[in-house]
Amino acid sequence: MNICVIGTGYVGLVSGVCFSEIGNKVTCVDIDENKINNLKEGIIPIYEPGLEELVVKNIEAKKLSFSTDLNTAMENAEIIFIAVGTPPKENGEADLRFVEAVATSIGKKLNNYKVIVTKSTVPVGTGKWIKGIIEKESGHNNFDVASNPEFLREGSAIFDTMNMERAVIGVESEKAKEWLTKLHEPFKTNIVISDIETAEMIKYAANAFLATKISFINEIANICELVGADVTKVAEGMGLDNRIGQAFLAAGIGYGGSCFPKDTNALINIAEKAGYNLKIVKDVEDVNKNQRFRIYDKVKEAFNSDLNGKKLAVLGLAFKPNTDDMRAAPSIDIIPKLQEEGALVLAYDPVAMKNAHKEIPNLQTVESYIEAVQDADAVIILTDWEEFKNLDLITLKGVVKQPVLIDGRNMFSLDDMEELGYYYASIGRKTVK
């Protein structure tokens, strides 16, 4: 099929590439000229494992191209995907500015039947709203709108798309249903067909549920610390029950990223507008906001509240491993708080340092974790990168000034840390002293 994807961020670029990989002809469009020029050369704007190879392969196979010219790109397209950002406004509501601009542009140019699909995460009712904009701009209704929300995870986005567990397709016509079902056939996945509003809601409900699991286990972790239980064992014991499942039960410093904080707040806002007080999700957000500061409390506790002049090595800046995405990363809040106390923070992240400098004003970074930990009074882990899981703790002890490890991701065993003679504070487990 002929596909046009508008917006070449994490979602648009990955979806576009994967649609070309399964045999479609895809043009990816963005207003960012620099990004498009780079992509034409096979230079990828984001860090995502496996993405570069697939982009280059499909450009060479002439199945994938990039453009800033929407008019030409959509001319032969049968299906147009809208995959632009929907960032949060101050009040938590999703900002539909970019979606509106794209819908207006599509409407101005639309002259034959196409299916226009929202892949961006948008509030319930947006599909119908887009339909109205396009009808007004084009002066006709020879098109269908649909919703096909995205569930990929940054860091494994290609794998997640090529092996998607389900595709949600919200439609209001047989033709749109037929075309979108056909497009997804090669993925050999479960297809959930619904009306547009339901599809839009599925995305928010799924993300709010995952966020709830994280905040739930973090609250359990906080109680574990008070009563002397170990949250990692609690999670294991809970997760082996199929009704609960193991996923998303790792206690830590809470969720970040461009989706969970934004989507939980947007859902709270959707509920409010509909006259409903979404209590659970409000608490989930509240718990998450506080959870990241527990690591700050633990660093202070290790030094009797005096961080002045202490050299702190922060390992990990991205909101999770395998991504350079810094949006709403816990490090953005934690590092300035440590600096305010007079600590000298030296940070290292395998790929997110460039983006981190844009988010954290007085950030000092170094090119390797070894440089960061040299003579450090404490090592603080904020992201569970594989590189940190494999830290040689004996060598580490030899290069730091004090063997103090504050672990926001529960990466090491308490027994090992005890044996090695570390002061080791983690989340939801006893502190080894």
Q: What residues line the site for ligand NAD (CB under 6 A)? A: 6-12, 29-32, 35, 83-86, 98, 101-102, 120-121, 150, 152, 154, 258-259
If the CB atoms of residues 10 and 348 are measured against ligand NAD, the closer one turns out to be: 10
Name the minimum Å distance from CB 150 to ligand NAD.
4
258 vs 288, beta carbon nearer ligand NAD? 258
- Nearest residue to 255 (alpha-carbon basis) of 298, 207, 299, 297: 207
Task: State the greatest distance between any 2 C-alpha atoms of the chain, in Å, as a whole number.
Answer: 74
**For ligand NAD, the closer CB: 9 or 170:** 9
Task: Enter the tokens of residue 4.
Answer: 């046009």
What is the nearest approach in angstroms of ligand NAD to the Cβ of residue 226? 34
Would you say 262 or 298 has its CB closer to ligand NAD? 262
**Tokens 């989507």 map to which residue?**
263
β-partners of residue 4 are: 27, 80
Give me the least distance between CB of 245 and ligand NAD, in Å please.
Answer: 20
Residue 318 or 338 having the CB closest to ligand NAD: 318
| Least distance in angstroms from the C-beta of 117 to ligand NAD | 12
With H, G, I as helix, E, B as strand and everything else as coil, classify residue 146: strand
Strand partners, 3: 26, 79
Kindly tell me which of 4 and 171 has the beta carbon lying closer to ligand NAD: 4
Report the alpha-carbon distance of residue 58 to residue 313 in Å, rounded.
41
Number of alpha carbons in the 13 Å side-chain half-sphere of residue 115: 25
Q: For residues 25 and 3, is the Cβ–Cβ distance under 8 A? A: yes
Q: Which residue has the tokens 């590439």?
A: 17
Nearer to ligand NAD, 325 or 384 (CB): 325
234 contacts 61 by C-beta, under 8 angstroms: no
Supply the minimum distance, in Å, between the C-beta of residue 119 and ligand NAD.
Answer: 6
Q: How far is the CB of 257 from ligand NAD (least distance, A)?
A: 7
Q: Cα(378)–Cα(355) distance, rounded to whole angstroms?
A: 24
For residues 250 and 220, is the Cβ–Cβ distance under 8 A?
no
Q: Is-contact 106 134, C-beta < 8 A?
A: yes
Q: How far is the CB of 70 from ligand NAD (least distance, A)?
A: 7
Assess contact for 239 and 246: CB atoms under 8 A.
yes
Is the Cβ of residue 20 or residue 426 nearer to ligand NAD in the bound state? Answer: 20
Token reading at 340: 């305010």
Nearest residue to ligand NAD by CB is 9
SS (H, E, C) 288-313: HHHHCHHHHHHHHHHCCCCCCCCEEE
Active site residue 224: no
Asked if 149 and 126 count as a contact pair (C-beta separation under 8 A), the reply is no
Reading the block at residue 104, the tokens are 């207006």
Strands (DSSP E) contained in 7-106 are 25-29, 64-67, 79-82
CB 407 within 8 A of CB 393: no
- Compute the least distance from the CB of residue 182 to ligand NAD, in Å: 23
The active-site residue, picked from 4, 28, 224, 259, is: 259
Dist. CA 200–CA 194, nearest whole Å:
10
Q: Is 393 helix (H, G, I), strand (E, B) or coil?
A: helix
Token pair belonging to 19: 């649609």
- The Cα 15–Cα 51 span in angstroms is 11
Tell me the catalytic residues: 259
